[in-house]
C-alpha cells in the first residue's frame, strides 16, 4: 500500500493526541530545579543527604515542598494541552 493512503489516518490520530504526559514531565523538571535550589540555599547538594535523625529542618522542608510540588504535577499530567 502507498503511504499516502495512511496519511489521513495519521493526521486524524495526531489531532487526538494529548500533551498531558509532556506537561507532567515539564512540571517534574520544574519541581526538581526548585528543590536543587532549596538544597543549595541550605548549603547542601541534592541527592547526597540521607535520611536520619540528624537531617536539618531546612532539608526536611525542601523534601516536603518537593512532595507537594510532585503531587501537583499529577493534575498537569491529566489536563489536556492543546
Positions of the chain with pLDDT lower than 50, given as ranges: 1-4, 6-7, 9-14, 17
The reported pLDDT for the residue numbered 82 is: 58
**pTM to 2 decimals?**
0.67
4 found inside a domain: no
Contact present, 20 and 76 (Cβ < 8 Å)? yes
Furthest C-alpha separation in the chain: 67
Domain count, the chain: 1
Please give the radius of gyration of the chain, using alpha carbons only, rounded to the nearest integer. 20
Q: For residue range 38-54, list pLDDT tens digits in order.
A: 999 999 999 888 777 88
Structural domain including 49 reads 18-78
71 found inside a domain: yes
Q: Is 78 helix (H, G, I), strand (E, B) or coil?
A: helix
Torsion of Cα atoms, 30 then 31 then 32 then 36, to 10°: 100
The reported pLDDT for the residue numbered 47 is: 85
Amino acid at each position: 500500500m502507498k503511504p499516502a493512503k495512511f496519511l489521513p489516518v495519521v493526521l486524524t490520530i495526531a489531532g487526538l493526541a494529548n500533551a498531558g504526559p509532556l506537561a507532567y514531565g515539564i512540571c517534574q523538571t520544574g519541581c526538581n530545579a526548585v528543590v536543587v535550589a532549596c538544597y543549595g540555599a541550605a548549603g547542601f547538594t541534592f541527592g547526597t543527604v540521607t535520611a536520619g535523625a540528624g537531617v536539618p529542618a531546612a532539608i526536611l522542608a525542601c523534601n516536603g515542598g518537593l512532595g507537594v510540588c510532585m503531587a501537583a504535577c499529577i493534575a498537569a499530567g491529566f489536563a489536556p494541552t492543546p
